[in-house]
Amino acid sequence: MSDWIGNGIEGWAEQLLATRFETLLVREPAPGVLLVTLNRPDASNAFNTRCGHELFAVFHPLELDRNRFRAVILTGAGDKAFCAGGDLKERKGLSEDEWVLQHEFFERTFRHVLNCPVPVIAAVNGAAYGGGLELVLQCDFAYAARGARFALSEVTLGIMPGGGGTQTLPRVVGERRAKELILAAKPFTAEQALAWGVVNEVFEPDALLDGALAIARRIAGNAPLAVRQAKHSIHHGLQMDINSGMLFEIEAYQRMVKSEDRVEGVRAFNEKRQPVFKGR
């Protein structure tokens, strides 16, 4: 899957879709929508080293070619778990040095999800524990199946969240609730996740993927440059004071004034037709 690095970015998406991964299923269910499924249902879709490498192989090129796919959905195989976090059976045999190296690679992969210029939607089909919940929190937003459960349970294992959980969860639910959930390793339901802003909507299990696909198609139909710049502005602006954020937003906005998509969007509106956006 890494051959595109040496051969150039052209044709990487077709190569990606044709690749038979060991731990992932990757397909394009609608034009411009990439569906990535964690495919280790017998292990509750837990991360092993191979899964970390394969997720990296999927998300890294999205930073380089930002037009081929316009929305990404991340989900898990089966109806039991979205992802149970790190594979503790594999980790049982790791030395301390191997553990550290593996975790550093997982962190790098998670950062590629967080910084992906293309919107990433989590479709949480079951339990999202430990690194599984951290992966959900790296996505732009999430939908969940009714009955899904969530927890950052690392402190019960003598470790702590290390996939961004101590940073992302407080930004979503607030410091005091995040401390309660992390320090007590307290699980919570899909309905609580909805009330606290961890997920945007709760679906019946058989409607979850359709719901995620509907919003992904809607995103994919919008101007990709505008979507990317808006995501960029929201994400980075929240790290600033309001005045700095407003200035950041204006700089992001100005990049689109001279774009072909801006011209096409206004023309299509006046001609009463659907725009054809090209991401430039």
Catalytic residue among 154, 180, 201, 249: 154
Residues in the chain: 280
Rounded distance between C-alpha atoms, residue 212 and residue 12, angstroms: 25
- What is the maximal distance between C-alpha atoms in the chain? 65
Cβ-contact 136, 122 below 8 angstroms: yes
Q: Which residue has the tokens 């320090």?
A: 183
Q: Nearest-CA neighbor of 67 among 17, 12, 108, 111?
A: 12
Told to judge if 28 belongs to the known catalytic residues of this protein, a careful annotator would answer no
Q: Nearest-CA neighbor of 143 among 73, 86, 81?
A: 73
Cβ-contact 176, 121 below 8 angstroms: no
Told to judge if 154 belongs to the known catalytic residues of this protein, a careful annotator would answer yes
Catalytic residue among 104, 107, 134, 175: 134
Q: Output the CA–CA distances (angstroms, integers) from residue 247 to 7, 209, 225, 233, in the order listed.
A: 39, 37, 19, 10
Q: 63: which DSSP letter?
A: G
Question: Catalytic residue positions?
Answer: 134, 154
